[in-house]
Amino acid sequence: MRRVRYHEYGGPEVLTVEETEPPEPGPGQVSLRAEAIGANYVDTKIRANAGSIFYRPLPGSPTGDVVGIVEAVGPGVDPGQVGHRVTALVDPDAYADFVLADAAWLAPVPDGLGPGPASLLTVAGPVALRVLRAGNLAPGETVLIHSGAGNIGALAIQLAKLLGAGPVIATASTAEKRKHALDLGADVAVDYTADDWAERVRAAAPGGVDLVLDAVGGAVLSEGIDLLAPMGRAVVYGAASGDLVEVPIRSLFGLRTVTGFSLLAWRAARPSEARAEMAEVAGYLADGTLRADVRAALPLTEAAEAHRLLEDRATIGRVLLVP
């Protein structure tokens, strides 16, 4: 079978297709025959070794959201799973014809759901839902959703409205992305690469923002905290800018809260809630409540091109690799 690894850090071209034997599932694991692999932006940072928070030793392999059929189960796993169509966060060796996944965190794919939306079942969907809940979103509140045209941002805009949010202000770097955010239900879309972006948000939310969702970090996070209304909350779940800015304690004295979120930490701390949220998102994607777009479906051998698409910051919708 084919798998994609890299043996040096660098640009997309370091991704190499190798021939190897299909992996055997160990205890608690299943092997999946991959139908499609959702490629994630964070893996471009890890591949480039872009700062200490993204460090992983060599040889490296991208992670991914793999949609596939359970081919075999390891010791301790119910053999009745064989043949089921599921999605899993796979780490390592996600870009491959066959992958290994943790049997405890498989998301069953609802009948008829295409590989693009199905690839959002394990990570993007549950993260989008949980960051809104971690931020205690209450009906009618104003929400600022950064990177609103990204996989998580796009779902978060729709889920915020579903949960009864008031005005949703989305940010994005291009006019096309801002239009997409508006199409998904955002009330206002702001270019956060412009120097005056925070002023534009202030104009749209004169009383301040009740909840900020931030996976950018750096100055965007600092300014976002300053935009919070009294009792406002910021949920930080990533650092796409690579800048893990420090939050000055004095910025919180205006009755503001900053909360961090990681899906893996949430799964470990509250497994039954995390599973229920996976199922909840699956229901919304299956019945069309949530819209999910696919930007590109590329052959597995074009993994480097998939990373170029993610890095050029022009993607709207999922980038899939298809074995």
Ligand X SMILES: NC(=O)c1ccc[n+]([C@@H]2O[C@H](COP(=O)([O-])OP(=O)(O)OC[C@H]3O[C@@H](n4cnc5c(N)ncnc54)[C@H](OP(=O)(O)O)[C@@H]3O)[C@@H](O)[C@H]2O)c1
Residues binding ligand X (CB under 6 A): 40-42, 123-124, 127, 147, 149-153, 172-173, 177, 215-216, 237-238, 240-241, 261-263, 310, 313
Closest approach, Cβ 192 to ligand X, in A, equals 7
Q: What Cα–Cα distance (Å) separates residue 167 from each residue in 172, 187, 255?
A: 16, 6, 21
C-beta neighbour count of 23 within 10 angstroms: 16
Position 294: which residue type? V
- Integer Cα distance of 154 and 181 in angstroms: 7
Residue 115 structure tokens: 């590989």
For ligand X, give the closer residue by CB, 9 or 54: 54
Q: Is 28 left (phi over 0), alpha (psi -120 to 50) or beta?
A: left
For ligand X, give the closer residue by CB, 216 or 229: 216
Closest approach, Cβ 302 to ligand X, in A, equals 17
Closest approach, Cβ 127 to ligand X, in A, equals 5
For ligand X, give the closer residue by CB, 229 or 281: 281
Closest approach, Cβ 208 to ligand X, in A, equals 23
For ligand X, give the closer residue by CB, 3 or 267: 267
Closest approach, Cβ 279 to ligand X, in A, equals 18
Q: How many residues does the chain have?
A: 323
Maximum C-alpha span of the chain: 60
Closest approach, Cβ 215 to ligand X, in A, equals 4
For ligand X, give the closer residue by CB, 237 or 284: 237
Closest approach, Cβ 193 to ligand X, in A, equals 7
- Integer Cα distance of 87 and 108 in angstroms: 6
- Integer Cα distance of 290 and 270 in angstroms: 24
Q: Residue written as tokens 């919180």?
A: 252
For ligand X, give the closer residue by CB, 71 or 223: 223
Which residue in 18, 5, 37, 26 sits closest to 299, CA to CA?
37
For ligand X, give the closer residue by CB, 36 or 77: 36
Closest CB to ligand X: residue number: 150
- Integer Cα distance of 256 and 181 in angstroms: 26
End-to-end alpha carbon distance in the chain = 10
